[in-house]
Structure formats: C-alpha cells, structure tokens
Structure 1
Amino acid sequence: MQEQPEHAVTPGLTARVELTVTDADTAHAVGSGDVPVLGTPRVLALAEAATVAATATRIQPGSTTVGVRVELEHLAATPVGRTVVAQARLAKVDGRRLLFEVSVTDGGEPVAEGRVERVLVDRQRFVERASRAS
C-alpha cells in the first residue's frame, strides 16, 4: 500500500468567495474607522476565507492551515449593498508554508490585492499548544 503524502496541496489551487456588504461589514462597525464602507479587516477576512477554501479539500483529515503573514493593499472603498468577490491562488508551496496571491474586486474593479502566507499544521496539536500558552 502506497503511503499518502503529508498533503496534496500544489501551486495553482484557486478559490472564490463572495460577500454582499452589510452595515456589520463597515469600517465603523468593525472599529477600523468611522465611515460606512467595507472595512479593511473584513476585506482581509474575506481574502483569508478564499485561501482556506482553496486548500480545504486537499489537506489531510486532522490538518488545517493557519495564517502567519499578510500583505494587503486596500485600493478602493465599497459601499453597503455592493457584492465583492475575493479570489485566492496558491502561488508557492515551500514545505508546510503556502503562499497565496489574493485579490478582491467589486464588479470587476479592484478593491484590494496582496499576499497571504499560511502554514499547514496538525489541528489538534496546534489547539493544544495554543491552550497551554494561555
């Protein structure tokens, strides 16, 4: 019987996640400003959701990925009611390190772009270590 690799995550994996902006997603609501437009923390959360979705079906049971580094440029304001689309593409795999290129658009127009780095970990061990650190 052939042993499975630690993970079957390869460059080129992609995912897309959508969000219709509500009052709860605004900079004012999330505490990152006082304007009623899509807040940067929500833009980042959406981009990260796309990175998680890109690998979700390709990692071994019991494994997960955790974010370790983000580089994000928020380029345009998005008002309540608009739908934004986050796309992630796995650009590079270096051992357990996964580097994604991410973009967020509104009607095809750029809202944000950047890179997200995640690390493949054993979910149970990670949670246990985090609990001990508290």
Structure 2
Amino acid sequence: MQERPEPTFAPGLSARVELTVTDADTAQAVGSGDVPVLGTPRVLALAEAATVAATATVMPAGMTTVGLRVELDHRAPTPVGRTVRAQARLATVDGRRLLFEVRVTDGEDTVADGRVERVLVDRQRFVERASRGA
C-alpha cells in the first residue's frame, strides 16, 4: 500500500464562522444546563467548525482532520438572537497534529477562547476503522 505524502499546513491559516443563537442552541436544549443562553457544547462545535474551515481550502483529497484535544474557557453568556463569531488560527504544526487558537466573540466581547488540537488522517481508513469498532 502506497503511503500518501503528508501535506504542509502553514501556521497562520485562519477562518471565521458565525452562528445566530436560537432556542435549539441553548444550554437547556443541548442538555448542558438549565439556562436559556448559548450552551457550551454549541460554543465548542462552532470553534471546531472554524478550525475545519481554516484548513478546508488546502486539505488534500481523501484526507481530513479529527478532533484530539480541546481547552476552552466559556467566559460569558450569550442570549438567543445574538450572533457569535468563532475565529480559528493555526498556531502550531507538529507532523500530523495541528494546534489552533480559537476565540468566540459577541461583538467586541469575548464569549470563549482556548485551543483546539486536531490530527490529520486518511478519511477512508479512519471511517473503516471506526466502523470495525477498533
């Protein structure tokens, strides 16, 4: 089996995604609390979406990244109806490991910040392995 060459991702790659908070995004709805504000799992999902978007345009065919580790400080509540923006910037590349710095904002206010580490994998092999339960 021929090994696929590993792509080169350069620190500085970045992307921004946004979300207008709905009732479905609240802590009450996602089961992470009992308050009607943006739930931490949705904040994390938005931050991860920004990391995926940051590498999307340079991702080689057949490859993808998967989440490995997350450090996230959820600092401020966001009510339904507000729009939050997640910015991810690739800070460090260590072989197949990609470390992103992430920040989620509501206007000028920081809602959350932290780091997301992802690892580059062969998509098909990863899915096959997951299907086998390995």
Shorter-chain TM-score above 0.5: yes
Deviations 1:89-108 (A, max 9, x none): 00000000000000000011
CA distance in 2, matches of 1:11, 1:119: 14
For residue 116 of structure 1, give the secondary structure of its aligned residue in structure 2: strand
User: C-alpha offsets along residues 82-129 of structure 1, whole Å, 9 cap, x if unaligned?
Assistant: 000000000000000000000000011000000000000000000000
Q: Is the 8 A contact 2:62 2:122 kept in 1?
A: yes
Structure 1 equivalent of residue 11 of structure 2 = 11
Match of 1:100 in 2: 100
Give the alignment's TM-score, normalised by structure 2: 0.95
What stretches of structure 1 of length at least 5 have no aligned partner?
none
Deviation (angstroms), 1:57: 1.1
State the identity %: 81
Question: For residue 20 of structure 1, what is the aligned residue in structure 2?
Answer: 20
Quick check: 1:27–1:37 contact (8 Å CA) kept in 2? yes
Measured in 2, the distance between the counterparts of 1:132 and 1:5 equals 25
Paired residue total = 131
Task: Report the counterpart of residue 77 of structure 2 in structure 1.
Answer: 77
| 1:6 Cα offset (Å) | 2.0
Q: TM-score, normalised by structure 1?
A: 0.95
The runs of at least 4 consecutive aligned structure 1 residues that moved more than 6 Å come to none
Aligned to 1:132: 132
Cα distance, 1:133 vs structure 2: 1.1
Contact 1:13/1:55 (8 A) holds in 2: yes
**Take 1:33 and 1:88, find their aligned partners in 2: how far apart are those partners?**
26
Q: Which runs of 5+ in 2 are unaligned?
A: none
Partner residue in 2 for 1:89? 89
The two structures, once aligned, show a CA RMSD in angstroms of 1.2
Which SS does the other structure have where 2:92 is aligned? strand
| SS across alignment from 2:42 | helix
Q: Contact 1:8/1:59 (CA < 8 Å) preserved in 2?
A: no
